[in-house]
Amino acid sequence: MSYTLIFGTRNWSSWSLRAWLALKTTGIPFEEVLIRLRQPDSASRIRKLSPSARVPLLLISDGDKESKVFDSLAICETIAERHPEAGLWPDDTEARALARSYSAEMHAGFLALREALPMDFARVLPQPDLDDTVLEQIERIQTAWEHALSQYGSQGDFLFGRFSIADCMYAPVVSRFLTYEIPLSDEVSQYAARIMELPAMQEWFHESQKEIDDGLPDQWVVEMVRNVR
Ligand SMILES: N[C@@H](CCC(=O)N[C@@H](CS)C(=O)NCC(=O)O)C(=O)O
């Protein structure tokens, strides 16, 4: 059995980071295929491989069977199911229900925040003007994290004690909060530091930095050029 994860430009692709972190946590080797986003051929390259025309995409080869899992949360769930020993969901039923709720809330929501604060993983950027909706979403996320940390944080460093899919789903938000220097409560700021210290997050950071060193512009510059065209 082997895994191949197809994902987008590391500095930008928040959905890719989520699935990559979950897979990385299992410690199982997997092949990485990077598709650079916002290139003339990005969409056609992704569409050829991925039924949803989106990355991340997980290819699972099992003997003569090959399956495609083409959504970050579906990938996390599939990995958790195939590798229960990795403990990607909390053991406790109530904790697991809350971790699933938070993960789904992230997956389906916070659109205003995602649009206003695009992930630019290895950069620090000026904070844009944030409207009330974005401020409410920032507040909601911090409240949710504080609640999880107060209930389960004594059992480990992460939202539900042991590192879980909930942390994978919110890791790009941690990065956004740091990129745009969003004011954070002490508890949230310490949690953010623990997430960033993870070896996997450091690896993603260094690879993102290399993309920037190779000339990757920041996302707003790309948007401006697109709007001018
Ligand atoms: N709901 C999907 C969203 C995936 C998504 O929007 N991916 C973006 C990159 S972060 C993408 O593939 N964009 C296609 C493109 O840029 O051509 C998931 O959770 O995986």
pLDDT, tens digit, 9 for 90 and up, residues 156-197 = 999 999 999 999 999 999 999 999 999 999 999 999 999 999
The single residue listed with the structure tokens 């989520």 is 18
Q: Is residue 124 part of a domain?
A: yes
Residues 98 and 197 in one domain: yes
In the three-class reduction of DSSP (H, G, I as helix; E, B as strand; rest coil), residue 34 is classed as: strand
Chain-centre distance of CA 79, in angstroms? 15
Exposure of 67 in the CB half-sphere (CA atoms within 13 A): 8
> Which structural domain range is residue 97 located in?
89-201
Same domain? For 26 and 104 the reply is: no
d(CA 150, ligand 1 centre) in Å: 32
The span from the CA of 109 to the CA of 82, in Å, is 27
Q: Residues 122, 11: contact at Cβ < 8 Å?
A: yes
Same domain? For 53 and 97 the reply is no
List pLDDT tens digits, range 67-87: 999 999 999 999 999 999 999
26 within domain boundaries: yes
DSSP bridge pairs for 58? 5, 69
**Which of the listed residues 85, 116, 151 is the one where a domain comes to its end?**
85
Longest CA–CA span in the chain (Å) reads 53
Q: How far apart are alpha carbons 202 and 1 in whole angstroms?
A: 28
Residues 177 and 192 both lie in one domain = yes
Q: Decide whether any atom of ligand 1 lies within 6 Å of the 55 Cβ.
A: yes
222 in a domain, yes or no? no
Structure-token match 């895994």, residue found: 3
C-alpha 194/C-alpha 187 separation (Å) is 11
Q: What is the pLDDT of residue 125?
A: 97
Q: Indicate the average pLDDT of the chain.
A: 96
CB 16 within 8 A of CB 10: yes
Residue 121 is part of a domain; what is its CATH number? 1.20.1050.10
| pLDDT band (50, 70, 90) for residue 9 | very high
Query: Radius of gyration (Cα) for the chain, nearest Å?
Result: 17
Is the pLDDT at 4 greater than 50? The verdict is: yes
Amino acid identity of residue 207, one-letter, is: E
Residue 179 beta carbon below 6 angstroms from any ligand 1 atom: no
Residue range 48-76: mean pLDDT, rounded: 97
- Domain contains 77: yes
* The ligand 1 atom nearest the CA atom of 37: 16
Q: Is residue 214 part of a domain?
A: no
How many angstroms separate the alpha carbon of residue 155 from the centre of ligand 1? 33
Whether 228 shows a pLDDT value over 60: the answer reads no
Answer whether 25 contacts ligand 1 (Cβ < 6 A).
Answer: no
DSSP structure class, residue 84 = G
Residue 220 lies in a domain: no
pLDDT tens, position by position, 128-158: 999 999 999 999 999 999 999 999 999 999 9
Last residue of a domain, one of 30, 61, 85: 85
Q: Which residues contact 44 (CB under 8 A, 6 or more apart)?
A: none
Q: Which residues pair with 61 in a beta bridge?
A: 2, 66
**Residue 60 per-residue DSSP state:** E
Residue 103 and residue 185 in one domain: yes
Specify the pTM. 0.96
Determine which residue's CA is closest to atom 17 belonging to ligand 1. Answer: 43
At 229, is the pLDDT very low, low, confident or very high (cuts 50, 70, 90)?
Answer: very low
Q: What is the CATH number of the domain that holds 40?
A: 3.40.30.10
pLDDT band for position 40 (cuts 50, 70, 90): very high
> DSSP letter at 77?
H
Model pLDDT, residue 36: 97
- Tell me how many domains the chain contains: 2
**150 & 78 share domain:** no
